[in-house]
C-alpha cells in the first residue's frame, strides 16, 4: 500500500530522532582514532555535544586547527561492528533454517546468499575511510554540474570510525519553503541521472537529509 502523507511524516520523525550516545565516549574515540592526546590538537573548537545523531554515528561541528576550516566530525557509535556482526550471524542462521523448510519465497530466493551479499556491503558502510574515498571521487565526478556542491573530505583526519568533512549549511527539501524547490528537485534528478548513466558511481542513500 502507498503510505499516507501523515505516515510519511511520522516515519521521517522516527528517522530524525535517533538518540545520541555519551559525548565523553565519542571524544575518547576521536582521540584514539586520530592518535592524539586531546582533540584540541586537531580542532581549535568543537561543540561539546553532537549537533545530529543517526543510526551508525553522530556529528559534531568543529574548526580544524591547521586551516581554520569549519568541518563536520562524524563519530561511529561504539560496538556497532559487534552488534551488526551478531545480527548478521543470527539472520544467516535463520536463513540456513529456512533452507530446510522450502516455502513459496525460499524456492525463489536463497536467503543465505542474499545476507552474504548484503553483509559485505554493510561492512563497507562501517568503514569511514572508504566513505571518505568515495566522497573524493563523487566530488570529482560532479564537477560537470557547477550548481552541485559536494562537501570536501579530509582523508588526513579520517579513520575507520571518525570521518571529517566540510561543514555545509543547508536545509532539507522536504522542509523548505523556498521558491526554487521545484528547480532543485529537477537538479537532483539530473545529478542522479549523471551518476547512474554517465559516471556509473552513485550515492545510494538519497533520503531527505542527504
How would you label 71-93 residue by residue, b for 16+ Cβ within 10 Å and e otherwise? Answer: bbbbbbbeeeeeebeeebeeebe
198 is catalytic: no
Query: Is residue 59 within 8 Å of 52, Cβ to Cβ?
Result: yes
Q: Of these residues, 22, 37, 107, 205, which one is catalytic?
A: 205
User: Could you give the CA distance from residue 4 to residue 17 in angstroms, rounded to a whole number?
Assistant: 20
Angstrom distances, CA of residue 68 to CA of 30, 38, 63, 168:
19, 18, 6, 14
Q: How many CB atoms lie within 10 A of CB 142?
A: 18
Query: Beta 43-46 vs 70-76: how paired, if at all?
Result: unpaired
Give φ, ψ of 19 to 5 degrees. -65, 145
Query: Is residue 165 within 8 Å of 60, Cβ to Cβ?
Result: no
Residues belonging to the active site: 205
Amino acid at each position: 500500500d502507498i503510505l499516507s502523507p501523515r505516515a510519511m511524516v511520522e516515519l521521517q520523525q522516527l528517522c530524525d530522532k535517533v538518540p545520541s550516545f555519551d559525548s565523553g565516549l565519542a571524544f575518547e574515540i576521536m582521540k584514539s582514532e586520530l592518535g592524539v592526546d586531546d582533540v584540541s590538537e586537531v580542532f581549535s573548537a568543537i561543540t561539546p555535544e553532537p549537533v545530529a545523531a543517526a543510526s551508525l554515528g553522530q556529528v559534531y561541528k568543529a574548526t580544524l586547527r591547521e586551516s581554520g576550516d569549519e568541518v563536520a566530525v562524524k563519530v561511529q557509535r561504539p560496538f556497532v561492528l559487534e552488534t551488526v556482526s551478531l545480527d548478521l550471524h543470527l539472520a544467516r542462521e535463520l536463513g540456513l533454517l529456512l533452507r530446510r523448510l522450502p516455502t513459496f519465497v525460499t524456492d525463489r530466493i536463497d536467503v543465505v546468499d542474499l545476507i552474504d551479499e548484503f553483509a559485505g556491503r554493510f561492512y563497507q558502510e562501517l568503514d569511514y575511510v572508504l566513505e571518505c574515498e568515495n566522497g573524493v571521487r563523487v566530488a570529482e565526478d560532479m564537477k560537470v554540474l557547477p550548481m552541485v556542491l559536494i562537501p570536501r573530505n579530509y582523508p588526513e583526519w579520517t579513520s575507520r570510525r571518525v570521518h571529517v568533512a566540510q561543514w555545509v549549511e543547508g536545509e532539507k527539501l522536504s522542509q523548505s519553503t523556498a521558491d526554487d524547490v521545484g528547480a532543485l528537485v529537477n537538479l537532483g534528478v539530473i545529478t542522479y541521472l549523471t551518476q547512474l548513466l554517465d559516471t556509473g558511481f552513485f550515492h545510494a542513500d538519497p533520503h531527505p537529509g542527504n
